[in-house]
Amino acid sequence: MTEPVQLPSPWRDVRLTVVVPTYNEAGNLPVLVERLLALPLPGLRILVADDNSPDGTGEVADKLAIEHPERIEVVHRAGKEGLGRAYVDGMSRALDGGAEFVAQMDADLSHPPEALPGMLGALLSTQAGVVIGSRYVPGGELDENWPLYRRALSGWANLYVHTLLRVRIRDLTAGFKIWKADALRDIGLERVQSNGYSFQVEMHYLATKLGHTILEVPIRFEERRDGTSKMTTATKIESALMPFKLRSKHRNIHP
C-alpha cells in the first residue's frame, strides 16, 4: 500500500467530501472508510449514497456514521436507480453542505484512497477543474488479476468514445476523481442524464465543452476485494448509445 502524500497547511485542511455510491458493498465499505479516515486530511468528509442494498450496506453505513458523526453522512435512496443518479444526488448534497472539493470513488476498493492527497495536491497546484486517477497515463497500472475481458472492454470503450467525441482524456471511463466545487457548479449536475457508467463520460465531455482543464495522474487500479461487478448488459447498451446522445444534447454548450 502506497503511503499518502503529506500536504502542507492550509491545503490539507480544505473541505473535501468523498462521495461513495454503494449497492451490496457491506464487506468493502468498512475497510474503505477506515482507510479514508486514516488519511492526513482533517477536512475530509465521507458521503455514502446507498441504493437500498439488499445485503445491508445501508445499515453498515449508518453504524459507521454513528461512530464518526462529524465525518460521515449517509443518504438512503429508494432503490437501484443507477450509478449516475447516485453520484448526482451525492455530489449535489456535498455542494449544498459547503464542500470546496468533491471526490468520487467506487466502494469496491479498486481505487486506492491513499492516492487522494496527491490528487488533491495536483488539483490545488494547477488551474485544473478536475483531476483524474488514471489507469492509462504513464505510471498507471492495472491489477494483474483484472480479467482479460474487462481489460479489453475498457480499452475498447475508451477508443470508441475517443473516436466519437474527440475528448482528449486517456481514461475516459475513469471513476476516481476530485472536482473543484466551482467546476461542478459550472457543469450543472441537473443537466446530467446518464444513469450508468456512462455518467463518467458525460461529466468528462461537459467539462471539456465548458473549457475546464482536466488533469490525469497515474494510479494503480485494483481488482475488487469482495462482491461482484455491477456492470450489466443494460449499462453496456446505455454506454454504447450515450456518445451519440451527448453530441446531440450538448451541441450548443460553450464556455
What single-letter amino acid sits at 132?
I
Query: Does 250 have pLDDT greater than 80?
Result: no
Identity of the highest mean pLDDT range in 71-75, 152-156, 166-170, 194-198: 71-75
Length of the chain: 255
What single-letter amino acid sits at 71?
R
CA separation for the pair 119, 177 (Å, rounded) = 8
What single-letter amino acid sits at 229?
S
Q: Model's pTM, two decimal places?
A: 0.89
Q: Which of 215, 221, 222, 218 is nearest to 133 (CA)?
A: 218
pLDDT 10s digits, 165-211: 777 898 988 999 999 999 999 999 998 988 766 889 899 989 999 99
Which pLDDT score is estimated for 109?
95
What single-letter amino acid sits at 197?
Y
Sign of the alpha-carbon torsion through 152, 194, 201, 24: negative
Place of cell 456514521: 65
Confidence of residue 217 (pLDDT cuts 50, 70, 90): very high
